[in-house]
Amino acid sequence: MSGQAVRLGFTLAEVLVTLGIIGVVSAMTVPSLMQNHQRKTYVTQLHKFYNELSQALTQYQTDNNAVNLKEAGLNSRDSANNFIKKYFKIAVECDKSGSPCFAETYKKMNDLELTIENGANGLYTLTSGQSIRVGYTSGAYTFLVSIIVDINGQKGPNIQGRDLFEIFIYDTSSGWFIDDLNPEASAVSPLSDDDRETQFTTYCLAGGIDNYHGCFGKILNDNWEMTY
């Protein structure tokens, strides 16, 4: 060693510089990681409800020996509610004010305030934690049932496209499917990618106080990823 000192550690200045670099990198990356994790959590909860709904629709049609949902009996608002009550585990059935299933107010991603439009019935909190509002159409649109779902109930952030979505059940000669709102009232096939993108930019990122749709189709387009 010829008398030279052996250095066994780091100086205080070196340690402080290293910690400072780690702190800067963490400050830059941790928020992004947390946001991505939260997006994945939202999508996982939404996908769980989607899967449960798909299984329930299949079972409903099978149980009634029918070739489509209308023949199985899904042909009115009351039948839509009976379907939910039979094939989902209900924790709470709420009054038409939405309480205690839904939060008092919701927002769009552009900060426009939304209020859940409630009917006389059809509002539930499921034992799995989601809150849903069930609607039925007998008009020009070809979807049978619309469902507004808050994937974590009254918990925040209560923002359309994050924890609040509207999905639609269609019934066709070739079978049922679940999609976003079709912009053409008479169309029955699943939406095209372009149609979903249009609905997303027009009604999810923008739109009015009574537009709850447009976000679900974007997630379908992006293979169950929340890229916005």
pLDDT of the residue at 169: 97
pLDDT, greater one: 134 or 119: 134
pLDDT of the residue at 120: 66
Q: Is residue 212 part of a domain?
A: yes
Query: What digits encode the pLDDT tens for the residues 75-119?
Result: 999 999 999 999 999 999 998 778 889 998 999 999 999 988 666
- Residue 159's closest CA among 215, 107, 99? 107
* Total tally of structural domains belonging to the chain: 1
Query: What digits encode the pLDDT tens for the residues 23-51?
Result: 777 677 756 767 799 999 999 999 999 99
Q: Residue 2: pLDDT band by 50, 70, 90 thresholds? A: low
Do residues 209 and 114 make contact, with C-beta atoms less than 8 angstroms apart?
A: yes
What distance in Å separates the CA atoms of residue 28 and residue 3, rounded to the nearest whole number? Answer: 46
Q: Give the three-class secondary structure for 217.
A: helix
pLDDT of the residue at 22: 77
Do residues 174 and 69 make contact, with C-beta atoms less than 8 angstroms apart?
A: no
Q: Is residue 54 part of a domain?
A: no
What are the backbone angles phi and psi of residue 160, rounded to the nearest 5°?
A: -60, 130
pLDDT of the residue at 109: 92
Arithmetic mean of pLDDT over the chain: 89
pLDDT of the residue at 207: 92
pLDDT at position 66 over 90: yes
Q: Is residue 181 part of a domain?
A: yes
Q: Is residue 116 part of a domain?
A: yes
Question: What is the pTM for the complete model shown?
Answer: 0.85
Q: Give the three-class secondary structure for 90.
A: strand
Q: Is residue 189 part of a domain?
A: yes
Q: Residue 220: pLDDT band by 50, 70, 90 thresholds? A: very high
Q: Is residue 133 part of a domain?
A: yes
Helices 77-87 and 12-63, axial angle in degrees (round to 10): 120
Token pair, residue 196, equals: 């979903």
Residue that has been written with the tokens 């979505």 in this structure: 165
Q: Is residue 59 part of a domain?
A: no
Q: Which domain holds residue 176?
A: 75-228
**According to DSSP H, which parts of the chain are helical?**
12-63, 69-72, 77-87, 193-199, 215-221
pLDDT of the residue at 86: 97
Q: Is residue 179 part of a domain?
A: yes
pLDDT at position 138 over 60: yes
